[in-house]
Amino acid sequence: MLGLLTACGGGGGQSTPNPDQLNGAQLKGTLPAWPYGAMTPQLYTYGEESLKLMTGSTVSQTGEVSVTLPASPAQPFDLLGGCTFNGTRSVTSIKTDLADVLLFTGPDELLGQVTYVRNSDGFPLTHMYANQAATFNGTAICGSNTLKLNLTLHAGWNMVAAFNESGILNLASVTDPASVTLKLVKAQESVTLSTTDNSSLTLSPQKTETRAITFKQTGGIVGPVTLSTNIPGVVVTPSTITFSSTPGQALQAQAATPALRALSRLTGQAQLQAQALTTNVTFSLNDKATSTLGSEGLELKASQNGVELGKTSFAVSITAPHVKASFQEYLRLSAYRPLQRTSRSPWSRLTVSAGLSPSR
């Protein structure tokens, strides 16, 4: 959505909204059963593409929210710059910006967005700035994209719903305080696993493999995360990693472009850089391992409380502990009975799995 808008300078005053209308310049209320402790919110503005600590705004130890947005954004942009508008409007265009109030449980560790959500469907709202009072009701054609507007704005910050409907991007005012509830919209809990060495793993009783794995989490995941694999007998060390819960301070500007941020806003998933934890993970075998013919996919999984949060995969070739033992057992038994050379003989299996050939 924001990729349709052209960034430009500008500013303007702020008027006092009707007390019977939702005030987009402030967030006030209490988040019930708040478990995260006291925090200082941070404001992400789309026009400036930056994240700033909101000094003077707080979420208390008990979840009481007191947030006030700045009088105007640093880099507002032209709402209809480069677009052709069809419909009714009170002014040609406005200088505007959109913003989200975000919380972090640690450095680079996004917890989610504090905002009003619609009672009808739980949809989270966005703060929209206008440098003057204005109404827009119609459609803007911006290159190959369509933007549908249903806006009644006062000068200053307003609350709007930004959404994608059948491929058309929409901005719609929400003005009734009784129609919304203050909530924390958590970022989707997930862990992304990555490594700079994706080469195949070769495992045997005498050989382990180690890879440096980077784990990035979003959604405020705290505490131990279990590591496991999808192949019985292949174990990993360490078997857990732990994300801390240290309250964070300001995150440096690491946000995506406005267009990408708009897409993430439409899907409810902020795309800010997540907390990263890098550790060496060692793959080894236990007595439940079985040999593989060639390479197959091994998945390294991260989960918490039985819920899978993310995974990555490697090709792997396994020579299991039981192969050598089976060969020795065969030699012992063959001293007491003739070898029946059939397609089902142990030799044929050993030839494939251990690279051995019978002697005559």
pTM given for the model: 0.57
* Residue ranges of domains in the chain, CATH in brackets: 2-186 (no CATH), 190-318 (2.60.40.10)
Closest CA to 154 of 178, 126, 130, 176: 130
Average pLDDT of 342-359? 34
Q: What is the arithmetic mean of pLDDT over 224-244?
A: 91
Q: What is the pLDDT of residue 257?
A: 29
- pLDDT reported for residue 179: 93
Average pLDDT rounded to a whole number, residues 63-86:
92
Q: Indicate the average pLDDT of the chain.
A: 76
Contact 186, 112 (CB under 8 A): yes
